[in-house]
Amino acid sequence: MCRLPIVCIVLYAAAAFAQIEETITVERILIDVRVTGYNGEPLTDLNAEDFDVHIAGKPAKLESVEWIQDAGIDPNAPFDDLETRRLGDSKGRLIVVFIQTDFARNKARVEGQLNFQRFAEQMIETLEPDDRVAVFSFDSHLKFRLDFSNQAAHIQTAMREAIMVNEPNTPPLVPNPSLASRLDRNEMKRASDSETALIIVGNALRQIEGPKSMLLIGWGLGRRTGDTVTMGLKWPIARRVLDAARVSIFALDTTWADYHDLEIPMQQAAEETGGFYAKTHVFPKLAVERLQRTLMGRYELSLLRPTGLEAGVQVLDVRVKRKGVHVLAPTSVRLR
């Protein structure tokens, strides 16, 4: 029994206060943002004062803003001159190539894919030695064609074979980061639409740290019902999974057409994940060059969660206080 009641009360109150203090946490949110000119040229001199960020309409305080150069490529050098395009050391990017191959062999889709092939291969030639690329294809179901590799010849071969609707061999094992052990082949065979396939790929990527860029090379997303085109019902799930894995979609529409209905959901997927959409049937070289410039680097923004917001998915709005720039950032964030 305590013989000094007042001291006991003080000590008890102090202990209780310490317990309360331990439960107080400030949620920090990390997002990847790219800021470019209209040709994809990255802006590299921004600081916290240049950004205006809101979550669910409430201003979010920026704890830090850091520019990270992911590739040493000179965007002003000639496209075909690889040596002069190198600027310096790369930190190594993780890139996932997701190729849609039309199982019905629609002429506009197949011709467009073949037309873009050589430009895609030229793009692979400019990758940095530390970059790693994985290749998937989707026709009747999801197919795993190459685990993360920095071998240009292997990447190009996997991309060429994606035009076929064959069943690929099991990709060779690679050191981490690796996707092989994180994928279920039976689950991939059951993926009957691209949105489901994106969920599977996204879940595998969630277990690998750091940001990733997905090149969605194909003919479209969503569904056409009568005169209406909408995103597939599974897209909200795919989007949450891709956000959690820090994946940005860069949608390269290879369909040989000035316009088609399924391009609208492709645009939506790119915008919502912090990437961009581009057509490739007329000016494929320009689309590739814009992509190369955009992937040179990014900003990592560390935000403090605004008070009074409930857990769950909330709207994210990232703006830059400069004119004539493109801001590529996710349009939502999940709060714990």
Return the pLDDT at 72: 65
Q: Which of 23-37, 122-136, 197-211, 268-282 has the lowest mean pLDDT?
A: 23-37
- Residue 144, Cα to own-chain centre: how many angstroms? 18
**Which residue intervals of the chain are DSSP H helices?**
5-23, 82-85, 107-125, 152-161, 185-189, 194-206, 235-244, 263-273, 284-294
Determine the average pLDDT of the residues in 146-154.
97
∠249-34-315 over CA atoms, to 5°? Answer: 70
Return the pLDDT at 254: 97
pLDDT at 76 over 90: no
Give the burial class of 328: count Cβ atoms within 10 A of its Cβ; 0-12 exposed, 13-18 middle, 19 or more buried: buried
Higher pLDDT, 335 or 39: 335
- pLDDT band, residue 10 (cuts 50/70/90): very low
Average model confidence (pLDDT) across the chain: 88
Determine the average pLDDT of the residues in 237-252.
97
- Give tens-digit pLDDT for 269-326: 999 999 999 999 999 999 999 999 999 999 999 999 999 999 999 999 999 999 999 9
The CA-based diameter of the chain, rounded to the nearest angstrom, is 91
How far apart are alpha carbons 149 and 130 in whole angstroms?
9
Return the pLDDT at 322: 93
Determine the average pLDDT of the residues in 101-121.
91
How far apart are alpha carbons 259 and 222 in whole angstroms?
15
- Give tens-digit pLDDT for 154-167: 999 999 999 998 89
How far apart are alpha carbons 14 and 302 in whole angstroms?
33
Return the pLDDT at 327: 97
Cβ(265)–Cβ(222) under 8 Å? Answer: yes
Listed residue (231, 230, 274, 232) closest to 250, CA to CA = 274
pLDDT at 16 over 90: no
Secondary structure (DSSP) of 161-185: HTTS-S-PPPPPP-SSS--GGG--H
Cβ(188)–Cβ(167) under 8 Å? Answer: no
Delineate the domains of the chain, giving CATH numbers in brackets.
71-295 (3.40.50.410)
Q: Which of 70-84, 184-198, 225-239, 279-293 has the lowest mean pLDDT?
A: 70-84
- pLDDT band, residue 81 (cuts 50/70/90): low
Return the pLDDT at 189: 97
pLDDT at 98 over 80: yes
Return the pLDDT at 19: 47
- Give tens-digit pLDDT for 40-53: 899 999 999 999 99
Q: What is the DSSP letter of 255?
A: -
Return the pLDDT at 27: 82
- Give tens-digit pLDDT for 128-141: 999 999 999 999 99
Listed residue (276, 297, 213) closest to 34, CA to CA = 297
Q: Which of 68-72, 87-91, 243-247, 250-254 has the lowest mean pLDDT?
A: 87-91
Cβ(128)–Cβ(147) under 8 Å? Answer: no
∠66-50-293 over CA atoms, to 5°? Answer: 60
pLDDT at 245 over 80: yes
| Number of residues that make up the chain | 336
Considering 6-20, 158-172, 219-233, the range whose residues carry the highest mean pLDDT is 158-172
Strand-pairing partners, residue 318, are 53
Higher pLDDT, 122 or 83: 122
∠97-283-222 over CA atoms, to 5°? Answer: 50
How far apart are alpha carbons 287 and 120 in whole angstroms?
10
Higher pLDDT, 18 or 184: 184
Secondary structure (DSSP) of 109-152: HHHHHHHHHHHHHHHHHT--TT-EEEEEEESSSEEEEEEEE--H
Return the pLDDT at 227: 80
